[in-house]
A and B are shown apart, each in its own frame.
Chain A
Amino acid sequence: MRSGFLSLFRRSPFDGLLKHAEVIREVAPVFQLAILAYLDGNFDDFENYHNKVTIAESQGDSVKRNIRGHLPHGILLPMDKFQLLWYLREQDKVLDATQDSLHWLSYRKTDVPDEFVDDLLLMVEKVNDVLKSMYPMVATAEAYFKSFSELDRESVKAAIHQIRDYEFQSDQVERKLLSDALSHGSLDPTSVFHLVRLVEVLGEVSNHAENAGDMMRAMISR
């Protein structure tokens, strides 16, 4: 069939973005279970969950490469291609930072003092909220670029706002944890360093999610 017409239509980058966000969403409970297993001292379980997250991150990387590979020169998109690629980079860094946090934990078996556990679990919960809120943002954005409806645009903005809220809350807990760890009297310096770095990497997850949200906000701007 000789149809120059058909070859015009390329696959939507949102198919890949949604698949990538789906990977992040599926990683969220596994990540939480991994931290819980570590805090409980179940290092076999921790390694098991850690491996699952590593496999998921590798799947996410493959989806990311696939999206980039299908955006050659000369493709017309409803948004700036540069913005889309930047967004993708930030969304992927969310997954990378999640994996990095578990990698970092796996390097040492630190006995986390009881007084840190609640705050650390709160921070993990906030990061978990952030991970779960990426997919709704991408899904509503996909709907917006199909409908251009103001209602859908408001939904995307609400999803971005939600991520910013979680990032703010995670930031608050992060600062408290850092302050507590550095001013703790009896903790050995290696453990302090291990915990501080862990908290920083966990903070990175939320920071990249917020950056992705900011880029999405630029993509839907009128």
Chain B
Amino acid sequence: MYDVILGISFLAAIYMAWNIGANDVANAMASAVGAKAITLRQAVVIGGVLDFAGAVLLGSHVTTTIRKNILDSSLITDPQVMMLGLLAALLAAAFWVFFATWSQFPVSTTHSIVGALIGFGIVAGGFGAVKWGPVAAIVVSWVLSPVFAGLLAYLTFVFIRAAVLRRPRAFLAALRWSPLFAGLAVLVTTASLLMETPLGTRLGIGNRTGFIYAVGFSTLIGVVARGWVSRTIRDLEGRGVEEMFRRFQVFTSCYVAFAHGANDVANAIGPVAGIYIIYTTHSVTQEAPVPIYLLLLGGFFIALGVFTWGYRVIETVGSKITTLTNTRGYAVDFGTATSVLVASKLGLPVSTTHAAVGAVIGVGLGGGLAAVDFKVVWKIMIYWVVTLPLSAIPTMIIFKALRMIFI
């Protein structure tokens, strides 16, 4: 029985991971393609490779949260029940994601999997089996992450406008600030990689040293980037500034893909990690770490999703976003990725799409976009609220059915 459950859960997780790569990556990468910062082929390579890297190197934080911080395993002690419940949650979330893709609903895979796990907790162990404290923190993070992304994108764009665009010699002003624009994305990525991660521990790097290394590395990259743009862009007036930010969007696109992988791999791998640990230990344990090869598997299938289907979605979304210029695209990408990566470091599963929506609204509030529809925020909030019961209730039904079949 354990083998069958493990086998089915792997298939469901693979479908989820493939779907995240096929559909969600587009929301993260489309602004760069729309602003013509990167070509479709580059977007696919960056999306695939950096998503994989983010999933493997930083994915464990969020995966651990999804595996341990939503359900109170002291109230669901039967390993078979826990395995079936996690499988039911995964199947229900996969079904909801499939339904959402088919019906074009703007829902989040993150919200689906969290809603499904809550549903299982309630049906298996009652309301007490759900750790409402951490769940409340997760729900608060769903509100805070788009707000933070929006604020950051707003401040980034307002700074670019004041320090660069409105200057009489805008290109030279952009060149002056270029190490900051190129280095910031590298700083947050490197700091995330080195601080409080297995990589940092293996290299014997503490938080302070990790931060110093990150600052040093990003400064180096910033200075190199300045040399690169000053040598290769000759258009001092006109399109020079946008051309410079077009280059910087290559950095932020990598940053977005990396943050996406770090955050979203957990949606597919979180429940299967729980099932795998029960499969190997035959007990409901909280202590075992997430096996690295599960993250590799999740990262691989996300990348496969990008390569097999994601490129078509990126192409479609990118071709429809024509109003984003490179300066605005940079601000959107930076706000989105920083918000998602910070949430991932805190172990909070948030929606990358919602963070991206928040960032676009932020740039819109800063007057950077020709016309932004604020009403989408309400639409997204409605889908966010309905996603929780609509992924929780099918989980309950599937769990009851599985229990009748297997136990």
B313 within 8 A of A: yes
Cβ–Cβ contact B368 & A147, under 8 A: no
Cβ–Cβ contact A76 & B365, under 8 A: yes
Q: Which of B30, B103, B371 contacts A77 (CB 8 A)?
A: B371
A82 within 8 A of B: no
Q: What is the total number of residues of chain B having a CB less than 8 Å from a CB of chain A?
A: 49
Cβ–Cβ contact A3 & B26, under 8 A: yes
Cβ-closest chain A residue relative to B162:
A148
Q: Say which size band chain A's interface belongs to.
A: 20 to 34
Main secondary structure of the interface of B (DSSP, over half): helix
Q: Which of A6, A77, A146 contacts B321 (CB 8 A)?
A: A6
Cβ–Cβ contact A4 & B380, under 8 A: yes
Min CB distance A196 to B, Å, is 44
Cβ–Cβ contact A77 & B165, under 8 A: no
Cβ–Cβ contact B101 & A7, under 8 A: no
Cβ-closest chain B residue relative to A145:
B370
Cβ–Cβ contact B26 & A11, under 8 A: no
In the assembled complex, the Cα of A7 lies from the Cα of B380 at a distance in Å of 11
The stretch that binds A, out of B64-72, B124-132, B355-363, is B355-363
In the assembled complex, the Cα of A148 lies from the Cα of B26 at a distance in Å of 29
Task: Give chain B interface residues in 277-299, CB to chain A under 8 Å.
Answer: none
Cβ-closest chain A residue relative to B165:
A148
Indicate with 1 or 0, residue by residue over B68-105, a CB within 8 angstroms of chain A CB atoms.
00000000000000000000000000000000110111
Cβ–Cβ contact B27 & A76, under 8 A: no
B229 within 8 A of A: no
In the assembled complex, the Cα of A64 lies from the Cα of B384 at a distance in Å of 36
Min CB distance B385 to A, Å, is 14
Cβ–Cβ contact B170 & A1, under 8 A: no
Task: Give chain B interface residues in 296-324, CB to chain A under 8 Å.
Answer: 313, 316-317, 320-321, 323-324
Contacts of B356 in A (CB 8 A): 5
Cβ–Cβ contact B370 & A74, under 8 A: no
B247 within 8 A of A: no
Min CB distance A35 to B, Å, is 37
In the assembled complex, the Cα of A145 lies from the Cα of B105 at a distance in Å of 32
* Given known A-B contacts A4-B380, A149-B166, A10 and B161 have beta carbons under 8 A apart: no
Min CB distance A213 to B, Å, is 21
In the assembled complex, the Cα of A218 lies from the Cα of B320 at a distance in Å of 31
A29 within 8 A of B: no
Cβ-closest chain B residue relative to A75:
B371
Indicate with 1 or 0, residue by residue over A1-21, a CB within 8 angstroms of chain B CB atoms.
111111111111110000000
Contacts of B168 in A (CB 8 A): 150-151
A185 within 8 A of B: no
Min CB distance A67 to B, Å, is 11
CB within 8 Å of B: which residues of A?
1-14, 70-79, 145-151, 222
Would you mind naming 10 contact pairs between A and B with Cβ atoms under 8 Å apart?
A1-B23, A1-B317, A4-B353, A5-B357, A10-B372, A75-B372, A76-B361, A76-B373, A77-B371, A151-B168
CB within 8 Å of A: which residues of B?
23, 26-27, 30, 100-101, 103-107, 161, 165-168, 170, 237, 241-242, 313, 316-317, 320-321, 323-325, 353-354, 356-357, 360-361, 364-365, 367-376, 379-380, 383
